[in-house]
Amino acid sequence: MPDTPHYEQQYLDLMRHIWRHGDERIDRTGVGTRSILGATMRFSLADDAVPLLTTKRVYWKAAAREMLWFLTGDTNIRELVRQGVHIWTDWPLDAYRKATGETIDRDAFEARIIADEGFALEWGDLGPVYGAQWVNWPRYEPAGEGLYRRAEKGHNQIAALVEAIRVTPGSRRLLFTGWNVAEVAQMALPPCHMTYQFQVSNGKLNGLLFQRSCDLGLGFAFNIFGLSMITRMLAQQCDLEPGEVVWQGGDVHLYLNHAALVEEQMSRVPSGAPKLRIKNRPSSIFDYAIEDFEVVDYAPQSHISAPVAV
Ligand SMILES: Nc1nc(=O)c2c([nH]1)NC[C@@H]1CN(c3ccc(C(=O)N[C@@H](CCC(=O)O)C(=O)O)cc3)CN21
Ligand SMILES: O=c1ccn([C@H]2C[C@H](O)[C@@H](COP(=O)(O)O)O2)c(=O)[nH]1
């Protein structure tokens, strides 16, 4: 037995705590959750370590594709669906069904999103979610006579962050956020992984995420991978070594219909030390491709599927 606990033990302990002691209540989706407010976990990124869960298989490539999609500023699911990533389809699908009364299934809806650009424009957009805010946060400029107009190009928080890490590594303002108060109402879902902050310490880059709402059974595995991936990409672009990631949850919950997943996962023992390799160094943070990433030494236990609350 190793003398230090496996990094994933924090996750399993939190899961057990919430399942046993969380407040049970009806949430927005109507499914019901057990929930607590406030939790922190820390994971090392040293030597390419990546905090993938090992007690179930995590489809990290879907999470990586989602992260790369955010960085393009795209908010339409079409490109994700083209790449075989289905994690955002349920929200536009739900809106479409409600608006039209059609009983189209998910596969047929996705096929139509891919085949028909006009349909995708009309029904595939999530509103000004993550990507829009990260790289194109609306900016307004004077238009004369006391009037203002929306500037063609918004703030690119990610480009500014790379520059700031390089030029002012001692700064305590190295962050970006998706929580644009003025636009939250237009989003299919207000950002959950809402604020990312970075710190340079001893030549290492540390990354922190504040996640206001966390589906611990489903979303967390993707969110912690995404945090690790963006921290690694920023470190590479800024010639820093990866340090650690700190995850902070606001409302951290387990959906009541995830009982089978929770019981199964809590019965499993984490093992192994997966690594995330970045095989190239693109010329900017916006030029990474899925082929640049590789996970090695990942031998998880079997996948556990669970329904997503819409
Ligand atoms: N209830 C809820 N939980 C979430 O985690 C979540 C939302 N809603 N809404 C927006 C996004 C979409 N995200 C999702 C949605 C679905 C999966 C999911 O079904 N994951 C499965 C299969 C993944 C796959 O097929 O690639 C998993 O086992 O991880 C994960 C993240 C994260 N977010
Ligand atoms: O990246 C994500 C996105 C979403 N979630 C979860 C958290 C909640 O279960 C729902 C969002 O519902 P709200 O009512 O808007 O809080 O999606 C996640 O864990 N990770």
Whether residue 309 is annotated as binding a ligand: the answer is yes
Indicate whether 129 belongs to any domain.
Answer: no
Indicate whether 149 belongs to any domain.
Answer: no
Distance 205 CA to ligand 1 centre (A): 28
Instruction: Tell me the β-bridge partners of 36.
Output: 252
Atom of ligand 2 nearest to the CA of 190: 15
- Report whether residue 87 contacts ligand 2, using a CB cutoff of 6 Å: no
Strands 241-255 and 204-215: parallel
Active site residue 192: yes
Indicate whether 103 belongs to any domain.
Answer: no
Atom of ligand 2 nearest to the CA of 33: 9
Overall pTM surpassing 0.95 (yes/no): yes
Q: Cβ distance 250 to 213 under 8 Å?
A: yes
Cite the DSSP H helix spans in the chain: 9-21, 60-72, 78-82, 90-100, 106-115, 117-123, 130-136, 157-167, 219-237, 259-267
pLDDT in tens, the chain (310 residues): 667 999 999 999 999 999 999 999 999 999 999 999 999 999 999 999 999 999 999 999 999 999 999 999 999 999 999 999 999 999 999 999 999 999 999 999 999 999 999 999 999 999 999 999 999 999 999 999 999 999 999 999 999 999 999 999 999 999 999 999 999 999 999 999 999 999 999 999 999 999 999 999 999 999 999 999 999 999 999 999 999 999 999 999 999 999 999 999 999 999 999 999 999 999 999 999 999 999 999 999 999 999 999 9
Among residues 114, 192, 246, 273, which one is catalytic? Answer: 192
Host H or E run for residue 189: none
- Give, for ligand 2, the residue of 35, 215, 223, 310 to mutate: max count of ligand atoms closer than 8 Å to Cβ: 215
Indicate whether 32 belongs to any domain.
Answer: yes
Nearest CA to 134 among 182, 71, 198, 77? 71
Both tokens of 296, joined, read: 């090695």
Indicate whether 120 belongs to any domain.
Answer: no
Indicate whether 250 belongs to any domain.
Answer: yes
Which residues approach ligand 1 with their CB closer than 6 A? 59, 62, 86-88, 189, 215, 218-219, 221-222, 305, 308-309
- Give, for ligand 1, the residue of 211, 224, 308, 310 to mutate: max count of ligand atoms closer than 8 Å to Cβ: 308
Looking at residue 213, which CATH number applies to its domain? 3.30.572.10
Domain limits for position 185? 9-61+157-296
Distance 167 CA to ligand 2 centre (A): 34
ipTM for the assembly: 0.98
Indicate whether 94 belongs to any domain.
Answer: no
Atom of ligand 1 nearest to the CA of 62: 26
Q: How many domains does the chain have?
A: 1
